[in-house]
Amino acid sequence: MSYEYILTFENDTDLSHFIKNVSSSSLFLGNSKNIDLRAPNSSSQWSYDVRLVELDLHKCLIQVATKSEAIFKLFDSILLGGNFQLTEDGDEDSISLEEALMPRKLHY
């Protein structure tokens, strides 16, 4: 089961900039219909850790199979200072990039 989020930008230039930068990262798995990412040393049984699917000129679906600090840092560096909203698919309330992508830290 993956978690699904909608990343919405105010304009299509921001989305295309985000997609271009993610696709040129070392975490990108190559050319495919979707943009699949895999973190270094991932032990996920899925073929990807995070998948991006462009929905329209302003939105993309983010499917998170495995939360990853490396992918969080990539997205955070690209989106820093950007004008975007991240919501769970089917919900209107915003959530943070960290909540969506960072693995939970266990406290003992």
- Per-block average pLDDT, block size 10, for the chain (108 residues)? 93 91 94 89 92 95 96 96 91 94 75
DSSP tag of 80 = T
Q: Quote the pLDDT of residue 12.
A: 82
Residue 106 belongs to a domain: no
Residue 107 belongs to a domain: no
Q: Quote the pLDDT of residue 108.
A: 55
Q: Quote the pLDDT of residue 106.
A: 56
Measured CA to CA in angstroms, residue 56 lies from 8, 25, 67, 75 at distances of 10, 22, 25, 19
Cα 85-31-86 angle, rounded to 5 deg: 10
Residue 90 belongs to a domain: yes
Half-sphere exposure in the Cβ direction for 22 (13 Å, CA):
27
Q: Quote the pLDDT of residue 104.
A: 81
Residue 46 belongs to a domain: yes
Specify the number of domains making up the chain.
1
Residue-range definition of the domain harbouring residue 73: 3-101
Cα 1-46-94 angle, rounded to 5 deg: 50
Residue 108 belongs to a domain: no
Q: Quote the pLDDT of residue 1.
A: 77
The domain that holds 56 is classified in CATH as 3.30.70
Residue 27 belongs to a domain: yes
Q: Quote the pLDDT of residue 107.
A: 54
pTM equals 0.91
